């Protein structure tokens, strides 16, 4: 692919759905003008437009779900404690029959704390009312980090692409759970 060229988000099924909805929209507008009661003209046009726009977005999402299939293979993570970073690497594969414009990988790290012992766990959240009078501002360390990365663009059907992303890893995290999800657009 040449530099500067842009792959479209839509495939042939998107265009067919848009064409069918547009034809139904035109038919609806024609029938609304043939109405004998002219007071209903604007509400009918508004309703037809609203239904057509809603149906278009709904169908575009449904078509995406069934035409864009991706998989991640060999996902590995390696912590670099001295740099407070974690590196994720792997392979993304387009298993569908259509080109995928963008593949996004979302990584969420959640710190479970120092141990699995629940006796020291606080189950309420302080309102901060008493902090007003103490004058002490406590900086709370984050308990989770979430970041989304674009790991592939314009991935052709049945093609693979390797990726590597770097995520900041807070030094206060202990017993970390990792959650990953992928999405194709």
Q: How many domains is the chain partitioned into structurally?
A: 2
The 10s digit of each residue's pLDDT in 38-75 is: 888 888 999 999 999 999 999 988 888 888 888 888 88
Which residue range is the domain that position 112 belongs to?
A: 70-117+126-184
State pLDDT tens for residues 118-167.
544 444 455 555 556 665 555 666 778 888 888 888 888 888 899 898 88
Residue 5 lies in a domain: no
Q: Would the pTM count as exceeding 0.75?
A: no
- Helix/strand/coil (H, E, C) string of the chain? CCCCCCCCCCCHHHHHHHHHHHHHHHHHHHHHHCCCCHHHHHHHHHHHHHHHHHHHHHHHHHHHHHHCCEEEEEEEEEEECCCCEEEEEEEEEECCCCCEEEEEEEEEEEECCCCCCHHHCCCCCCCCHHHHHHCCCCCCCCCEEEEEEEEEEEECCCCEEEEEEEEECCCCCCCEEEEEEEEEC
| CATH number, residue 92 | 2.60.40
Report if residue 53 sits inside a domain.
yes
Domain co-membership, 78 together with 141 = yes
User: How does pLDDT run across 81-112, given as a tens digit for each residue?
Assistant: 778 888 888 989 888 888 888 888 898 888 87
The answer to the question of residue 6 being in a domain is: no
Q: Are residues 35 and 24 in the same domain?
A: yes
151 lies in some domain: yes
Tell me, yes or no, whether 62 and 109 share the same domain: no
- Same domain, yes or no: 98 and 139: yes
For the chain, the average pLDDT equals 80
């Amino acid at each position: 692919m040449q530099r500067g060229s842009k792959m479209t988000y839509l495939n042939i099924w998107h265009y067919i759905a848009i064409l069918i909805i547009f034809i139904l929209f035109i038919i609806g507008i024609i029938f609304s003008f043939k109405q004998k009661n002219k007071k209903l003209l604007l509400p009918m046009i508004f309703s037809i437009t609203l239904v057509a726009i809603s149906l278009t977005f709904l169908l575009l999402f449904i078509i995406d779900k069934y035409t864009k299939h991706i998989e991640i293979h060999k996902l590995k993570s390696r912590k670099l404690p001295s740099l407070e970073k974690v590196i994720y690497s792997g392979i993304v594969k387009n298993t569908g029959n259509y080109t995928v414009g963008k593949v996004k990988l979302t990584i969420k790290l959640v710190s479970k704390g120092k141990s699995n012992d629940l006796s020291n766990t606080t189950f309420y959240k302080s309102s901060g009312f008493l902090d007003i009078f103490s004058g002490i501002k406590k900086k709370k360390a984050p308990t989770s980090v979430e970041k989304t990365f674009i790991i592939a663009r314009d991935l052709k059907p049945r093609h693979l692409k390797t990726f590597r992303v770097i995520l900041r890893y807070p030094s206060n995290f202990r017993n970390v759970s990792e959650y990953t999800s992928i999405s194709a657009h």
